Chains A and B, each alone.
Chain A
Amino acid sequence: GENVEQHPSTLSVQEGDSAVIKCTYSDSASNYFPWYKQELGKGPQLIIDIRSNVGEKKDQRIAVTLNKTAKHFSLHITETQPEDSAVYFCAASKVTGNQFYFGTGTSLTVIP
């Protein structure tokens, strides 16, 4: 089965700096990688996703990169703001499959 690892578990950055969260996966058949943001007491919200046929995707201050050969993908948040503070989860799946395999989460704190 798939195994997703996520680092770091906690991350603190100054407002305006960039934050990077990294995930690795084990199953080379995985080809869909979403990222979720979870605020305290709420359900995870999809913020960006990438398929294995592209290496990078960007949406305003958020970007995701994928290295299929090394089987790792990363979330990049630029110009961080206090409202970016939350727990972020990566996941791996097959496009046509159902089950998502989640990372262990990264608690991001943006210090004003």
Chain B
Amino acid sequence: GAVVSQHPSRVICKSGTSVKIECRSLDFQATTMFWYRQFPKQSLMLMATSNEGSKATYEQGVEKDKFLINHASLTLSTLTVTSAHPEDSSFYICSAHNKRGRVETQYFGPGTRLLVL
């Protein structure tokens, strides 16, 4: 149980284009999903918290107009990188909040590797 999928797994795009990444909770409903960015050999950097039916909460320093987040249903959140530039190249990982026993924990997707040329 508690499977989270991401699509696409990797994407290469030209500078200036927009890229949409989907995050789905496959066997549970997630009112909250998170989007992280990870640079090589570094920890996870929280970008934003996505709440179903409401606006996302962005971490300090993350441009909300550049990283558009939509959480339209209890099983789907999307991250759109608008007008992508080479510095946006990174590994993007989503996670979904779910209960494990009496504890709420996060289950991660497999990640999406974005390369902007």
Contact = CB atoms under 8 A, between A and B. Distances in A.
Interface of A: 32, 34, 36, 41-46, 49, 51, 89, 95-96, 98-100, 102-105, 107
Contact of B103 (A44, A51, A102, A105): A51
B105 interface: yes
B85 interface: no
Interface in B61-117: 93, 95, 97, 100, 102-111, 113
B97 A98 contact: yes
B32 A102 contact: no
Nearest to B10: A41
A43 B97 CA distance: 15
Given A49-B103, A51-B103, A99-B49, A42 B43 contact: no
B111 A43 contact: yes
Contacts of B95: 43
